[in-house]
Chain A
């Protein structure tokens, strides 16, 4: 069977080679990079602009962004017909293609986040590596631990006040540098779509900006969600007095800290949400007003075939309802969780409506294609480009975060700068 034929149903006049070639993993790809970029921007708001209220969530967001970073290329790899040749992208990059930038921009961004984390956690590494270094008879596990943390120090054991000052400065510079790179990383994901002149729905210069805005929205939302989850777990542990890690706060202290951070962060989320929606509506209005050749088929898709997923799922459930939930006074944690989940759903639907919606009509403008997501897999292709693959990609950053947090402890109060 031809790739794409399995999940594509054609209607009316569609060219014979047209299928929905870019399926759910290409929806996941901008969604995941969006989360990366958003999480990073959130952490930078504290490091660069010194927004003190975000201090608690900033360090958390940075570590989470790092975990997400490793997941961002996974959807693309799963989507590639020749995943092992993905390296060609770095070997013979063709920079007239938006995808060629991926290797470079992604690596640059990864380097920035990793460096920033290094400066942030350098003292922590030294604190662990130093005693192990001096210890004479190390066990195998200790050797292993020593090896990891010794490499992580990069050979620097200097933790004097002066050197820590330098760290802070470096962090600020890197965070500042990171914002444009994060925006570029995601903006170019928008460019990948916006620059396809063959696709009437995708081709708009607004696409990169829309992508950045919704990326920040989704990134902040995810950080809030994960932050709440971790805080709840800590509260739970504090209540049961099972303090595994050094925690000196009571459940009540945590509670008040949590809601302050959430309320503060929610304001920034709303701000970017407004930008994102305005741009999307502007795009829609312009298309309708200028009504070029493609408008007939676009209108039938936007107001007809995809009406539910655009206006009900994306705009109403994903944007309007959480907007109201956030704006209502006395925001509670529970309401915030609901709103944040809806926001993330809304951004996911936006990606869906762009990627799948852009392939919902034929290049002939006289036919349609319907996408049927493979839910129950029966071969490798339906695993990786089906519900299972998409869900796997979504879960992956949380697992990674759990692993990474073992090296970069997120809530170790003593260590924080």
Chain B
């Protein structure tokens, strides 16, 4: 290489470097090292008392209307499951239409338009379990989003950016609880966000407000005087699918080993 070529190449190199440096800055390492746990004053948590739930499904109805999920679409941000264990050890579970219309029959839905009749005297144990997004401390759905369209807000709520989601469905696959789905209208990933528009205005979530029996409660786990914080700290509460290491923030009173 002679001197002229060298100068030419050097000029090219400098031109290359001088493209806006901001363009290369995908990640700022200083930001990356920033406080991971944060010093946010709010961390939303949810408490479900399965003893109190009667399976009326008013929470599901309210949720779908409050959060504009097409009422007849077979997807829902929250749902209620029924578990029936018979005296001869058979286990049944169902959630017809996510219990949008409650449980008004003792027949268990088996899918493929089949139903199982269970006589009252055969029942050993039966109960209802409301489900919703766990707003995990380590949300696997966020980890797998390829574009940063779903994320954990500083108060712990996992939100979806409907303008950025590409609709690959990886987050739906990544959630061990099956809370995510594609919104029938927006075609982006959709999930329970504890009625973010309500809780940030000081209101309760639609499901908490709609529940006549107080089976659902929401609160701020960083506030020691919050009633649900007291319960979570002092009473025996369970979480769902602990083995996935997701650290769910929805706590259950009266969780049974049969709960899937």
Contact = CB atoms under 8 A, between A and B. Distances in A.
Interface string B75-94: 11001010000000001111
B111 A99 contact: no
Contact of B182 (A81, A89, A199, A364): A81
B174 interface: yes
Contacts of B81: 13
Contact of A197 (B148, B176, B187): B176
A86 B168 CA distance: 9
B-side interface mostly:
loop
A16 interface: yes
B167 A2 contact: no
A199 B148 contact: no
B169 interface: yes
Given A2-B73, A3-B184, A199-B173, A81 B178 contact: no
Nearest to A368: B111
B149 interface: yes
Contacts of B165: 81-82, 85
Given A17-B181, A88-B149, A364-B93, A80 B168 contact: yes
B229 interface: no
B229 to A, nearest CB: 29
B111 A12 contact: yes
B164 interface: yes
Interface stretch (A90-98, A259-267, A275-283): A90-98
Interface stretch (B10-18, B139-147, B152-160, B217-225): B139-147
Contacts of A100: 146-147
A100 B74 CA distance: 30
Contacts of B260: 13, 363-366
Interface residues of B, number: 51
Contacts of B167: 80-82, 85
Contacts, number: 149
Interface in B106-135: 110-112, 131
Nearest to B181: A17
B213 interface: no
A318 B142 CA distance: 37
A105 B74 CA distance: 37
Nearest to B191: A17
Interface string A1-26: 11111000111111111110110000
Contact of B187 (A14, A82, A199): A82
B146 A11 contact: no
8 contacts: A16-B76, A16-B79, A17-B79, A80-B167, A85-B167, A89-B166, A94-B146, A364-B93
A196 to B, nearest CB: 5
Contacts of A186: none
Nearest to A367: B111
B149 A96 contact: no
B173 A22 contact: yes
